[in-house]
Amino acid sequence: MATINIKSVLKELGINAVNSGVSSGNIWFKDSKKYIESYSPTDGKLIAKVSVASKADYDKVIKTAEKAFSEWKMVPAPKRGEVVRQIGDELRKHKNALGELVSYEMGKSLEEGLGEVQEMIDIADFAVGLSRQLHGLTMHSERFKHRMYEQYHPLGVVGIISAFNFPVAVWSWNSFLAWICGDACVWKPSEKTPLCSVACQHIVNRVFKKNNVPEGLSCIVNGDYTIGELLSHDVRVPLVSATGSTRMGKKVGEAVGARLGKSLLELGGNNAIIITPSADLNIVTVGAVFGAVGTAGQRCTSTRRLIIHESVYNEVKNKLVKAYGQLKIGNPLDRKNHVGPLIDTDAVKIYLSSIEKVKKEGAKEIVAGGVLKGKGYESGCYVKPCIFEAKNSYEMVQHETFAPILYLMKYKTIEEAIALQNGVPQGLSSSIMTTNLREAERFLSHEGSDCGIANVNIGTSGAEIGGAFGGEKETGGGRESGSDAWKIYMRRQTNTINYSSTLPLAQGIKFDL
């Protein structure tokens, strides 16, 4: 049985049977005749309909966002941070309801849904402090009585394209930082989770209205890939942040690059854990299983590969088989279940196709997959997490499948293990399980993991907001959330001031008139 009343959740979040999915602040566009129907993968039921943006709607939104930016950039950054602080407080009030909606519309466990909203609260807190630290540098000039420094200015309208698997957190990573930097945001959510965007917009609007924030600072434009194309090609949008597949990201990067805009790409992962002879196998089991089956394998940081030393290979394999036998698969709103559904039946088809393809390549099935049927599985989106023994060179192992499929492979030396870890096109998250200091340090060195995230004795999934999040190679090279990721939402400027009564030139050049 589900542990929430979805009707009460929708009412609290301002969601009705039919919702506008296009908004410039409190201005909702309601004349659309096209809708996205949002079905829950949990039970297959229609939750609500959301209208989509037309080209004309999109243009109105961008114009409103431009106007909002011209006003918002003049507000001192700490004042902007205070508004974001209030958004964090509003999220605290509605954490349960929004977390429940995330779980019901996307299909991740209730604990993960609530955890995602907590990420939003955390990034709000981070952004508040950051609003007083948007600092540049002061440099010494080579010229007499000159001062040099650099500073950062608001950039403009930021386009945000987000994926279904984190339907609210990734938007907050971008928008909360963009807002304290002085930017306006236009959000194109995933068409698979549109209601989450409507709920977030209602929450933000209440705070913005109370603070007399200009309309259009926060905008949503629901729709299909064509809305993403409009953002990518629009010279009025200096930065497009896109989270999703590598295929999608390449298209966005190409379009934005062709107009010399800026792009922040957070794309696919093919993440591995190296398990060494000295590893604590109790930690290994927890990290590997959660990494592989959490969110039903639909995280960009999900564990796809285990690279296991031959001396502990059979022991690790046996522990995994035992752990997989204890997994409870079912309604994600029921806290006793470990694994919820895939996002939709199309994802199920990809899961089944991937299993057949990797079998044909020679992979050996250790824990069988399949689609669950019967009572509680009526949506057709529940699948069994499965395990295969496979080679790193297999095409399907090289490919990211957004499903709970885990591949095991052996290694003999740490050099071989690192080569296997790095031997995929993607470079997002990685981990090594070891109590050997030399192995750990080597994995973290320049000759170790080539990923944007490298962990020791924790899994590949999950990240704290204080660190920059992102990866290399086909993961796109972008960085979101913590550290100095804020800099991409601003334009950088170098300033030189001459406070002398002469004009000496750089490098000692003489130019006498």
Catalytically annotated residues: 266, 300
Q: How far is CA 466 from CA 87, 130, 322, 449, in A?
A: 19, 11, 35, 21
Cα end-to-end span (Å), the chain: 87
How many angstroms separate the CA atoms of 194 and 221, rounded? 10
How many angstroms separate the CA atoms of 370 and 374, rounded? 13
How many angstroms separate the CA atoms of 75 and 125, rounded? 19
How many angstroms separate the CA atoms of 511 and 185, rounded? 47
Instruction: Dump strand ranges (E) for 215-318.
Output: 218-221, 239-243, 262-266, 271-275, 303-309
3-class state of residue 365 by DSSP: strand
How many angstroms separate the CA atoms of 347 and 107, rounded? 12
3-class state of residue 188 by DSSP: strand
- Cβ atoms of 403 and 354 within 8 Å: the answer is yes
Place of tokens 């609210």: 168
Angle between helices 77-93 and 194-210 (to 10 degrees): 120
Q: Which residues are within 8 A (CB) of 234 and not within 5 positions of it... i.e. 6 or more apart?
A: 62, 159
Angle between helices 110-130 and 169-180 (to 10 degrees): 10
Question: Exposed e or buried b for every residue in 223-254, given b needs 16+ CB within 10 A?
Answer: beeebbebbbebebbbbbbbbbbbebbebbbe
Q: Centre a 10 Å sphere on the Cβ of residue 412 and count the other Cβ atoms it contains.
A: 10
Q: Residue 430: is it exposed, middle or buried by C-beta count within 10 angstroms (0-12/13-18/19+)?
A: buried
Q: Residue 198: is it exposed, middle or buried by C-beta count within 10 angstroms (0-12/13-18/19+)?
A: buried
- Cβ atoms of 157 and 62 within 8 Å: the answer is yes
